[in-house]
């Protein structure tokens, strides 16, 4: 069942869906391969927020701007709501919000209406090259076996390698790290590109993410939302020595790189400590603003080790029983309380920029947690056309001393594009800027250039009205 296409898009998350729709503006022969039975990738578990960073000159601005992308989606009839409130953090603002399941359905319908082919339960295996070492298609696999699609352009949007145990062990040598996304991103895109000489960026050992209730908690699709720990920015986070190691108030936006800090400071479990006031309040980090206590109970119901105590001393005893240093934990909380109440001149280390509430209203709670990867910063290196950069054809990816820019050249692998999490991102961007917005920006850029290349290879001009 081998066949021909102009563009093959691999992966049906936001980046792949956007790439496919964009390619269809320039070509009628676009195929989307999705390994899972359903489309959307990470989308169903996200809050659906498109965000951009304020006051920055973001590297992704070299791609098609996120704001224009939102207008483009609306022009296609895709529902993107204005956010109720643009403020997200001091550094980032919401600029649009989608109902993620509706978005997936609308995008899939639109792709098919425009002649795109969607192949679900079809896994990409490897890339094909012609005699000139240019992309000539893909090898894929479905229930009928292996087949090939010949295509001048391939867009990799498989979501990176957070589900590949071997690569995770190589880049994150920590026994208790979890995949916080979906199980399908097992690195075929990343590996296939590397096998044909793709250049990767820095940051392959740097993940943004959060924490999940520790085993024996069982997290399933049914309780994933109710066991979320997005309220961690309100808590005090301790390691087993009873020591704080991060500014918890930044532990959701990812600007503190919580996962990397966990890997450096926590051997097994860490602990989220909160009091009754926090338990009774609501978190605005999820679309439906749940009560934090509901999420604590969600963790307890799932089987996580949770200590509940009427005094801080009792909390310390409970932490001792879990194998942590309860005495030091209580000392740390007392020091924290004195600092946030302004009773001590001692500066908190690490600092606590926001949410400076004392943990002093019983009952007290401590929930054992372990780190989860939301995404890995490093990935395939792409140029401003979203073409994957070739390691062999380019010069150094490291800063070059002495800086003689005339010696730097960046050459792509002809016909290979990447979008979304698959691509490496600059280390100083926060979680929000790099999620759906990155998928939209790089997906549009990749879709456009991949289809234009395929058409140019056939000697055709882009359709009228496109640029």
Per CB under 6 A, residues contacting ligand FAD are 10-16, 33-36, 41-43, 45-49, 51, 123-124, 157-159, 180-181, 184-185, 188, 374-375, 420-421, 432, 435-437, 439
As measured in angstroms, the least distance from the Cβ of 458 to ligand FAD is 25
Q: Please give the Cα distance from 397 to 200 (Å, whole number).
A: 9
Spatial neighbors of 390 by CB under 8 A, at least 6 apart, are: 197, 198, 199, 411, 412, 413
CA atoms within 13 A on the CB side of 241: 7
As measured in angstroms, the least distance from the Cβ of 158 to ligand FAD is 4
**Residue closest to 355 by CA, chosen among 274, 267, 456:** 274
Question: Is the separation of the CB atoms in 380 and 193 below 8 Å?
Answer: yes
Q: Is 141 helix (H, G, I), strand (E, B) or coil?
A: strand
Q: How many Å separate Cα 400 from the centre of its chain?
A: 30
Complex with ligand FAD: residue 181 or 448, whichever CB lies closer: 181
Complex with ligand FAD: residue 180 or 326, whichever CB lies closer: 180
Question: Is the separation of the CB atoms in 318 and 306 below 8 Å?
Answer: no
As measured in angstroms, the least distance from the Cβ of 383 to ligand FAD is 18
Complex with ligand FAD: residue 287 or 456, whichever CB lies closer: 287
As measured in angstroms, the least distance from the Cβ of 267 to ligand FAD is 25
CA atoms within 13 A on the CB side of 295: 30
Complex with ligand FAD: residue 176 or 328, whichever CB lies closer: 176
Q: Please give the Cα distance from 96 to 94 (Å, whole number).
A: 6
Complex with ligand FAD: residue 329 or 388, whichever CB lies closer: 388
Q: Please give the Cα distance from 141 to 128 (Å, whole number).
A: 14
Complex with ligand FAD: residue 145 or 465, whichever CB lies closer: 145
As measured in angstroms, the least distance from the Cβ of 406 to ligand FAD is 35
DSSP state of 390: B
As measured in angstroms, the least distance from the Cβ of 355 to ligand FAD is 20
């Amino acid at each position: 069942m081998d066949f021909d296409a102009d563009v093959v898009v691999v992966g049906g998350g936001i980046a792949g869906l956007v790439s496919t729709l964009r390619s269809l503006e320039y070509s009628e022969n676009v195929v989307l391969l999705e390994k899972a039975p359903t489309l959307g990738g990470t989308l169903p578990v996200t809050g659906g927020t498109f965000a951009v960073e304020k006051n920055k000159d973001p590297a992704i601005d070299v791609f098609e701007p996120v704001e224009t992308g939102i207008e483009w989606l609306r022009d296609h009839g895709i529902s993107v709501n204005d956010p109720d409130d643009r403020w997200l953090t001091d550094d980032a603002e919401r600029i649009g919000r989608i109902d993620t399941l509706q978005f997936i359905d609308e995008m899939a319908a639109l792709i098919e209406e425009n002649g795109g082919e969607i192949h679900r339960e079809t896994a990409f295996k490897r890339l094909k090259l012609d005699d000139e070492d240019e992309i000539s298609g893909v090898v894929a696999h479905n229930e009928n076996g292996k087949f090939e699609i010949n295509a001048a352009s391939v867009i990799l949007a498989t979501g990176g390698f957070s589900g590949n145990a071997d690569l995770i062990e190589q880049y994150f040598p920590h026994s208790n790290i979890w995949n916080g996304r979906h199980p399908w991103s097992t690195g075929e895109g990343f590996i296939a590109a590397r096998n044909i000489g793709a250049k990767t960026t820095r940051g392959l050992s740097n993940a943004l993410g959060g924490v999940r209730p520790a085993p024996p908690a069982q997290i399933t699709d049914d309780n994933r939302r109710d066991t979320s720990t997005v309220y961690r920015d309100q808590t005090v986070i301790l390691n087993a020595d009873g020591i704080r190691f991060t500014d918890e108030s930044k532990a959701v936006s990812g600007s503190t790189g919580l996962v990397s800090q966990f890997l450096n400071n926590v051997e097994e479990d860490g602990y989220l400590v909160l009091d009754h006031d926090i338990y009774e309040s609501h978190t605005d980090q999820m679309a439906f603003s749940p009560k934090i206590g509901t999420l604590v109970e969600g963790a307890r119901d799932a089987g996580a080790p949770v200590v509940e105590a009427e005094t801080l001393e009792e909390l310390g005893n409970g932490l001792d029983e879990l194998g942590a240093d309860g005495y030091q934990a209580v000392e740390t909380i007392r020091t924290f309380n004195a600092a946030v109440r302004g009773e001590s001149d001692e500066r908190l280390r690490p600092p606590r920029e926001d949410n400076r509430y004392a943990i002093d209203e019983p009952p007290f709670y401590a929930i054992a947690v372990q780190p989860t990867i939301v995404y890995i910063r490093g990935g395939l290196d792409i140029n401003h056309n979203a073409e994957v950069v070739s390691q062999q054809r380019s010069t150094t990816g490291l800063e070059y001393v002495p800086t003689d820019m005339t010696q730097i050249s960046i050459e792509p692998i002809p016909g290979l594009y990447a979008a979304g999490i698959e691509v490496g991102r600059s280390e100083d961007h926060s979680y929000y800027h790099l999620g759906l917005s990155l998928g939209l920006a790089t997906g549009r850029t990749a879709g456009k250039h991949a289809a234009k290349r395929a058409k140019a290879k056939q000697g055709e001009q882009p359709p009228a009205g496109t640029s």
